[in-house]
Chains A and B, each alone.
Chain A
Amino acid sequence: AQSVTQLDSQVPVFEEAPVELRCNYSSSVSVYLFWYVQYPNQGLQLLLKYLSGSTLVKGINGFEAEFNKSQTSFHLRKPSVHISDTAEYFCAVTWGGATNKLIFGTGTLLAVQP
């Protein structure tokens, strides 16, 4: 079955430090990749997406992610985090085909400390 894995349930980091949130998926066939952010008691907001083209994708709030087909990964990075980046981050994948179902990972809590 197709799956999305976020190995880190929580990532603590100091303010202004760089961060990487990891995401791996099960198959690269016709894959589309997304990162969403969820602030407390809020819905999900799209940070960035990879549909095709350049493997380095830039999103909102200074985040970027790189599609690595050989490693089936789509890690999210930011060179310098702020307190306001504290939130839950979800990687999501959809595989082309009849179902077109968006499957989410279990999420990573980014905890930015002063």
Chain B
Amino acid sequence: EAGVVQSPRYKIIEKKQPVAFWCNPISGHNTLYWYRQNLGQGPELLIRYENEEAVDDSQLPKDRFSAERLKGVDSTLKIQPAELGDSAVYLCASSFGQLNTEAFFGQGTRLTVV
């Protein structure tokens, strides 16, 4: 069974440019999460979806970040425009049911803003 798939694995962009990350969760998982992991830190939740509805986006910087999960399956996270401080690993995870079940993580996208 395929795990959580993210692309691209690595992305280098200049500041002020837009960037997008894509995530395909495990088949049948209704809950999808986007996390940001800064160097030397633990992951921090950006947004959580239950099917196509964003149920927790309190940590998403909405002035420049946006996300969508139109059909309740795969998801896209966008940053526009990117800033130097956005350099981090962006992790996608999915789970079936409530959060206290196991969340499966993708390999992440490492973003470098120069």
Question: For the complex, is B40 an interface residue (Cβ under 8 Å from A)?
Answer: yes
A94 near B99 (CB under 8 angstroms)?
yes
Say which residue of B43, B48, B58, B98 sits within 8 Å of A44 (CB atoms).
B43
Chain A 36-57 near chain B by CB (<8 Å), digits 1 or 0: 1000011111100101000000
**Secondary structure class of chain B's binding surface, majority of residues:** loop
Distance A19 CA – B54 CA, assembled complex (angstroms) = 40
Known: A51-B100, A94-B99, A94-B100. A102 touches B105 (CB 8 A): no
Within 8 Å by CB of B40, from A41, A46, A94, A106, lies A106
CB distance from B11 to the nearest CB of A (A): 14
Residue of A nearest to B110 (CB): A41
A to B contact number (C-beta, < 8 Å) = 56
Contact B107 A100 (CB under 8 A): no
- Partner of A101 from the list B45, B102, B105 (CB cut-off 8 Å) is B45
Q: Return the chain A residue nearest B44 by Cβ.
A: A104
Bitwise interface map of A from 72 to 101 toward B, beta carbon under 8 Å scored 1, else 0: 000000000000000000101010100111
Which of B56, B100, B105 sits near A45, CB closer than 8 Å?
B105
Q: Which of B43, B58, B106 has the most CB of A within 10 A?
A: B43
Contact indicator A43/B108 (Cβ below 8 Å) = yes
Complex formed: what's the CA distance from A4 to B42 in Å?
10
Taking beta carbons and an 8 Å cutoff, which residues of A are in contact with B? 4, 9, 32, 36, 41-46, 49, 51, 90, 92, 94, 96, 99-107
Pairs across A and B, CB under 8 Å, 21 listed: A4-B42, A9-B40, A43-B93, A43-B105, A44-B91, A44-B93, A45-B105, A51-B100, A90-B42, A94-B99, A94-B100, A96-B100, A99-B58, A101-B48, A101-B99, A102-B33, A104-B44, A105-B42, A106-B42, A107-B40, A107-B42
